[in-house]
A and B are shown apart, each in its own frame.
Chain A
Amino acid sequence: MCDIIWCKKEVGGKVCDTVNYLDPYCFWNWEGKIGCAECGTVYYIHMIQGHMYRGPDEKPGEKADILPLFADKPNDGYSCYLPGIEGRTRPFTCLPREIYLGHADTVKFSIRGKPVRGWRPQPPSAGVAGSFGFFWDIEKLSPEVWAEYQEKIKKGEVKDW
């Protein structure tokens, strides 16, 4: 096994069965101890040019140097640990903003407070492959967004930078 550590450790009578992904640039030449995201088992690995030179060897009782960025359980409904879950995965240090949701983000308002067409659901009149061109009648199509927008204007949250 290499480039992933598929942890088969039995913990509490259950097989851990978690795939810890060793991302290629960080681990291409790397030596140290890595902890499993699910059960915390520590493995020693020595990787040279992407090949496991030694390991993964279990090191019970020792502390991990590093955690994987991402781990999932393909045999258990693909439940996963996204990057940056404390004690499980290490954070990805170059994120575009502090709240990284890890899933598609569709927002109603831009950071200037102006409505953007990112929310859902779309009205049925949008149809298949529908596009409202350059004119987007928020008031008619999404009355609740329009109402929210009016509130924002009143509160002075809409600005031009």
Chain B
Amino acid sequence: MDEKELQKLKVCDIEDLPGPKSKEELEEMKMPFEEYCRKAFDPGNEFLKPEALKGIRWMSTTMYIFTPHSVANLAELGAECIKVEMPRMGDPMRQTSPFNEAYLYPLHDTRPMTGTGYGFLNANVNEYYITLDYHVPESKRVFYDLVKQSDGLTECYRHGTFDRWKQGYRYLMEMNPRFIYVWGGGFGYGPKMFGGSYDILGQAHAGLASITGTHKDMGGHATKCTNWCIDWYSGTQITCAIMAALNYRLKTGLGTMIEFSQVQAATRMCGYTAPLYGRFGIVRQRWGNWDTQLCVHGIIMTGKSDFPDRPNPQEKFEARYVMLSAFQDADFKDLCDIIRSRTSSAAIRPTRRGSAGRPRWKSIKPSRPGPRTRPAPKW
């Protein structure tokens, strides 16, 4: 048997099999954890590693941030993504720039003096950009051909628009049963089905705004969480649903339709807000930089900026807030000691009153008898 034949018999490489195969790999077990992490994640060499979603092709008939981000997440994981925009108009995000200030990539005739706004950056990474006007009859065939060759699509048009144009799930599922169809928008079927949506609408409508910011009794207003967070956050939630659907399809070969409402996603992150209201009728308010459940655990202003000499006002005036966290007894006591040593007054003492609001770990006595229906199991 010659070398060639021997090679033919091989079905895998010893390197691919689990278990240590060398002294080095044995060493790996002894390596300090940080070093191991650096080696395992190997920053800077991402391109030497395989992509999880290689081979998936996804269409992105989307605009703004929310739905594009759901696709960009797939693209970052290695899927081949195709962004479809209206000819000559493009995604409105291209004309969105902070204070109309920063423009890149001079682009088209409606804004000849400027270019692509910074708002577009980041939401559509690793993608192919094509234009297609669905109003033109000839585009239909192109669209259907793409659907036949793709694994899924995310769209953000007003609900029912794609259906009216005969390119909704009802039509596409019959052309490609493996197709995963995602509609992302504000509300979904129901009384407000045709209501449009934005990040900020999600924050407002879903209750997130009512718990963010300083209370009006303290002079504040309901504050928008920055950076279109609900757009991005719910975009990732769509990706999460897509990933589950892809894993299901791996087993069954069947696609699905996902109807995703970003307003709902904003309510989902409000934690105890809903159960507290449901059981006790308490409407959660905004508490500024306090954490309602941990004390001390919040953001406080210091007397000076870190960079008083920098020209940029953000560094000069705003680099003066710290996140302070000392909610466990020992840490709280240390904090009090530090404050006391810096101030002549000894008024601050780590009394029980001072640490009110911090949870008690050990023995909690119910303030009223619990509904004890059966005795606790004893192992």
Contact = CB atoms under 8 A, between A and B. Distances in A.
Interface of A: 25, 93-98, 101, 103-107, 116-122, 126, 128-131
A70 B129 CA distance: 40
Nearest to B113: A120
A19 B129 CA distance: 45
Contacts of B103: 104-106, 118
B313 A95 contact: yes
A129 B106 contact: no
A22 B114 CA distance: 30
Interface of A, secondary structure class, is loop
22 contacts: A94-B313, A95-B313, A97-B311, A104-B101, A105-B101, A105-B102, A105-B103, A106-B114, A116-B104, A117-B104, A117-B115, A118-B103, A118-B104, A118-B106, A120-B106, A120-B113, A128-B109, A129-B90, A129-B131, A131-B105, A131-B107, A131-B129
A131 B105 CA distance: 8
Nearest to A95: B313
A117 B105 contact: yes
A131 B90 CA distance: 12
B16 to A, nearest CB: 34
B314 interface: yes
B287 to A, nearest CB: 19
A129 B109 contact: yes
A116 to B, nearest CB: 6
Contacts of A122: 106, 112
Given A25-B221, A106-B114, A126-B106, 14 more contacts: A93-B313, A94-B314, A96-B314, A97-B313, A98-B313, A104-B100, A105-B102, A117-B104, A117-B106, A128-B109, A130-B108, A131-B105, A131-B107, A131-B129
Interface string B96-139: 01111111111111001111000000000000010100000000
Interface in B300-315: 311-314
B39 interface: no
Q: Which 6 pairs, one residue from A and one from B, show the smallest C-beta to C-beta distance?
A: A129-B108, A98-B311, A122-B106, A128-B109, A117-B105, A118-B104
Contact of B114 (A94, A97, A104, A131): A104
Given A104-B97, A106-B115, A97 B314 contact: yes
A93 B317 contact: yes
Contacts of A98: 311-313
Contacts of A25: 221
B349 interface: no
A122 B104 CA distance: 12
Nearest to B310: A98
Nearest to A96: B314
B55 interface: no
A128 B88 contact: yes
B115 A129 contact: no
B259 to A, nearest CB: 33
B313 A101 contact: no
Nearest to A105: B101
A103 B103 CA distance: 11
Given A25-B221, A118-B115, A120-B113, A96 B98 contact: yes
B177 interface: no
A101 B108 contact: no
B253 interface: no
Contacts of B114: 104, 106, 120
B357 interface: no
Nearest to A28: B221
B87 interface: yes
B115 A103 contact: no
Given A106-B114, A106-B115, A129-B88, A118 B313 contact: no
A98 B310 CA distance: 9
Nearest to B314: A96
Nearest to A129: B108
Contacts of A128: 88, 108-109
Contacts of B102: 104-107, 118
A101 B105 contact: no
A140 to B, nearest CB: 16
Interface in B73-111: 87-88, 90, 97-109
A118 B100 contact: no
Max chain B Cβ within 10 angstroms of own Cβ: one of A101, A107, A122: A122
Contacts of B112: 122
A96 B102 CA distance: 12
Most central of B90, B97, B101, B129 by chain A CB within 10 Å: B101
Contacts of A116: 104
